[in-house]
């Protein structure tokens, strides 16, 4: 994670924000007298929130674990060539 002081951030506000959004890399802004804060793009924040939702959902995590076991065992569902063609068209 990149880091800069709040004074640097103030002086480079537009470019710092543009870089955080375009690079998808969060920017930590440090302050001597207060708590640090992080700048990141809205789409990155939403992605992280979705990831946290899945990780916090025990039922989904169990489904993912079972799916991985099935995949490793080679015992999962195998789509037909027609179904694969239909997926490729999406």
Residue-range domains of the chain with CATH? 2-40 (3.40.1620.10), 41-76 (no CATH)
- pLDDT band, residue 69 (cuts 50/70/90): very high
Residue 88: per-residue pLDDT: 87
Q: Which two tokens stand for residue 44?
A: 């990155």
Q: Determine the Cα–Cα distance for residues 86 and 8; give it in Å rounded to an integer.
A: 52
Model pLDDT for residues 3-44, shown as the tens digit of each residue: 999 999 999 999 999 999 999 999 999 999 999 999 999 999
- pTM equals 0.69
């Amino acid at each position: 994670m990149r880091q800069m002081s709040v004074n640097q951030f103030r002086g480079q506000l537009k470019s710092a924000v543009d870089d955080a959004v375009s690079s998808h890399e969060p920017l930590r802004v440090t302050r001597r007298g207060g708590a640090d804060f992080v700048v990141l793009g809205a789409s990155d924040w939403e992605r992280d929130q979705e990831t946290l939702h899945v990780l916090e959902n025990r039922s989904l995590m169990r489904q993912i674990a079972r799916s991985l076991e099935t995949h490793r065992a080679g015992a999962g569902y195998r789509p037909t060539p027609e179904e694969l063609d239909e997926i490729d068209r999406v």
